[in-house]
Amino acid sequence: MLIFVAMAGFGVAAVLNLLSWLPIDASGLTPIWVADLVLIFIVWLPAILSLNAILRSYAPVTRRRWGFSASWGSSGLWNVPWRQLLEPIPVWLWTLGVLLVAYVFIAFFAGFAQLPYGPPEIDGGKYFFDNHGFLTPTDLAGYLQGMRVTMRMFTGHTMLFLGLGTLFLKARGRLRTLAPPGSA
């Protein structure tokens, strides 16, 4: 069920990211992309925790002062059948994933270059860019451009984390079918 939520959230983020390139008023879409951003935590935390629980059967746990960590030594996470785990992922999906990571990285830092005066906001019917409390006036076109850039920056990260969450949830299902070492 959670994998479908992750895929739907990824799709919403992808559509919103595509819309951010169009000259539209994206200010009404803010609640949607913020809710989609919150969805990262709803998907990511269970995906990581459940995958970690399965990986513990492959890697012995060593106690540390602040909790546990999996050992990366000769009997650690190297025992996880990574090749079998990642084998079903087609080459086109790997390529798409690498391109997505590159796109998110470039779009995020380009967004900072496009918003040198901070995020856009409206105060008393006037449009500003808020640079740590210093308000730089702008017009409606500048405000809308700033909203689109902000949406692009956030939905890119949402696509990245929900895409990884989907792969982790898929890997969790794959790991359950593979026998851990020492069992048989």
pLDDT digits (tens, 9 = 90+) for 45-69: 888 887 777 776 665 555 555 544 4
Q: According to the model, what pLDDT value does residue 81 have?
A: 66
pLDDT-derived band at 27, boundaries 50, 70, 90: confident
Domain count, the chain: 1
CA distance 22 to 15: 11
Q: What is the pTM of this model?
A: 0.78
Distances in Å between the alpha carbon of 115 and those of 137, 158, 159, 160, 164? 13, 20, 21, 22, 28
Given the structure tokens 């990642």, which residue do they identify?
Answer: 86
Q: According to the model, what pLDDT value does residue 151 have?
A: 95
Least confidently predicted of 1-5, 44-48, 74-78, 124-128: 74-78
Domain membership flag for residue 170: yes
Per-residue pLDDT for 118 more than 80?
yes
What residue numbers bound the domain in which 112 lies? 2-177
Given the structure tokens 């409606």, which residue do they identify?
Answer: 140
Domain membership flag for residue 182: no
